[in-house]
Chain A
Amino acid sequence: DIVMTQSPDSLAVSLGERATINCKSSQSVLYSSNNKNYLAWYQQKPGQPPKLLIYWASTRESGVPDRFSGSGSGTDFTLTISGLQAEDVAVYYCQQYYGSPLTFGPGTKVDIK
């Protein structure tokens, strides 16, 4: 299985400031034949299911605010929230879909400082 790790476990950011979450995979999730990274990001608020934010490592899902951006390639990825809003308080997960089984990171909790 491809193991996903995330850092930090939690972070607190002031409103309007930048939040950066890191995700690392135990093997590359870059598929050489199409040069795509098989990596997605989700946001989960309490009592709700995860919500898809980003796929192909950097493609924003329709309706997701542009303050959310994804970057990285191979084994190292970053989710950036530029200008944190109160409604962004949540747990964020990365997920790889390069290999089966699909696997998720342990999550990073984002709070307001």
Chain B
Amino acid sequence: QLQLQESGPGLVKPSETLSLTCTISGGSISSSSYYWGWIRQSPGKGLEWLGSISYSESTYYNPSLKSRVTISVDTSKNQFSLRLNSVTAADTAVYYCARVIVTGTARGFPDYWGQGTLVTVSS
């Protein structure tokens, strides 16, 4: 059974960089059938897709965050990571990693989700 687990700091100071890692177990990150994505959920903005990456490192970002987001993959560790820089209180949210079924370039729907991790931006 595929499992995804987010890890990283739960508290980040304003203007600093949020860094999270998603570790995949029960499956391989190296498949052309899937992207690997980050989605966040906050009371104010609901569910927001941040971006996705393929195992071959093709990346697709939400234009609303594109200048601040970087997603990377480490196939040797079966992990992918999120970096969001210059954070503000508006970036406080539960961050989920997910497997995305590929239906087209930069498009797809998440079928497996991690449990999520709350990241609070505060000094």
Instruction: Please list the residues of chain A having a beta carbon within 8 angstroms of any beta carbon in chain B.
Output: 38, 40, 48-52, 55, 61, 93, 95, 97-107
Contacts and interface: CB of A to CB of B under 8 A. Distances in A.
Interface string B108-123: 1111011110000000
A10 B106 CA distance: 32
A104 B107 contact: no
A51 B107 CA distance: 18
A49 B47 CA distance: 11
A103 B98 CA distance: 15
B47 A97 contact: no
6 closest Cβ contacts across the A-B interface? A49-B113, A104-B47, A100-B106, A102-B49, A40-B109, A101-B62
Contacts of A98: 107
Which of B101, B103, B115 has most A Cβ within 10 Å?
B103
Contact of B107 (A38, A49, A50, A106): A38
B96 interface: yes
A12 B58 CA distance: 44
